[in-house]
Structure 1
Amino acid sequence: MNPPAHEILLRVRYSETDQMGTYYNSRPLEWFECARSELMRALGRPYTEIEAEGLFMPVREAHVEYLGKARYDDLLRVRSVLTMPSRAQVRFDVEITQAATGSPVCRGYTIHAVVNAAGRPVRPPPWLIELVSCETAQSRKDASAH
């Protein structure tokens, strides 16, 4: 097994393009947000439930590498992977490709703190630590068997 991952399909909207006819440079961060929301939902923990527990995950760092073009009406495959680089942060790695050809569009990541309703940092909840730890440990075990 690998770290928790999920794929979605998104279509480039006209409002997401610039005068050159390709996606505007800030759009990948919006697509990253959509991907991480759907990943958490697929894992059984939509953001609405996490926030109902009094926990929030603000972005602390974001990085995007622009690799190729995406134009109006292109269908994109957006793959997100959840990891925990430290006890106080979660990280979502995202890769966006053209759905039809697999050509890379962009890739990057966001790193998030876990905070309470007062905005103070807290440890990630046990369910999140367990989810990432179990998946990552199994992935390492599988890799060493080969």
Structure 2
Amino acid sequence: MHIAEKTIEVRYAETDQMGVVYHANYLVWLELGRTKLLEDLGFRYAEMEADGIISPVIDLNISYKSPVRYGEKAMVKTWIELYDGLRVTYGYEIYNENGDLSVTANSQHVCVKKGSFRPISLRRTFPDWHHAYEQAKK
């Protein structure tokens, strides 16, 4: 199983009045983690989108454990938890600068045609991605 790691420098704009990262900003960090995972596997979402395919989130679960604060560096770890050729579930863990687990999450995605939102088979449409996902998953 391949686990991508992405370091995030917490910006002031990402925090609330208590100086901790506002909960919705973790969703952006999950996207950064997915992007890093794809880059590690040799791909880019932009290439898929250029072919008229997008990958919307169809389910998301997130659990907040401990805060990440302004001025810290966070570590986002991302992996492929499940993949069936059509849907992919990414797993995530975010750690604060002290190495404490701050967030656990998973998001499920499906690839669809941009104009119609009709699902496509990653296996048939992007066989290289399919193979890489099969190799990288749990």
Global fold match (TM > 0.5): yes
The 2-side partners of 1:17 and 1:52 are apart by 34
- Structure 1 pair 56–6 and aligned structure 2 pair: CA distance change class (3 A): same
Deviation at 1:135, TM superposition (A): 3.7
Residues 1:108 and 2:105 aligned together: yes
Alignment of 1:50-129 (within 5 A): 50-99=48-97, 101-118=98-115, 119-124=117-122, 125-129=126-130
- Asked whether the equivalents of residues 84 and 132 of structure 1 are also in contact (C-alpha less than 8 Å), the reply is no
- Residue identity matched to 2:84: S
- RMSD of aligned C-alpha atoms? 1.6
The 1-side partners of 2:44 and 2:30 are apart by 15
Secondary structure of the 2:128 match is helix
Q: Percent identity?
A: 28
Query: Which of 47-56 and 103-112 deviates more?
Result: 47-56
Deviation at 1:39, TM superposition (A): 1.4
Residues 1:132 and 2:129 aligned together: no
Tell me the TM-score normalized by structure 1: 0.84
Deviation at 1:84, TM superposition (A): 3.5
Instruction: Name the count of aligned residue pairs.
Output: 134
Deviation at 1:37, TM superposition (A): 1.1
- Asked whether the equivalents of residues 88 and 123 of structure 1 are also in contact (C-alpha less than 8 Å), the reply is yes
Secondary structure of the 2:18 match is coil
- Asked whether the equivalents of residues 83 and 132 of structure 1 are also in contact (C-alpha less than 8 Å), the reply is no
- Asked whether the equivalents of residues 80 and 136 of structure 2 are also in contact (C-alpha less than 8 Å), the reply is no
Unmatched runs of 5 consecutive residues or more in structure 2? none
Secondary structure of the 1:111 match is strand
Tell me the TM-score normalized by structure 2: 0.88
Larger Rg: 1
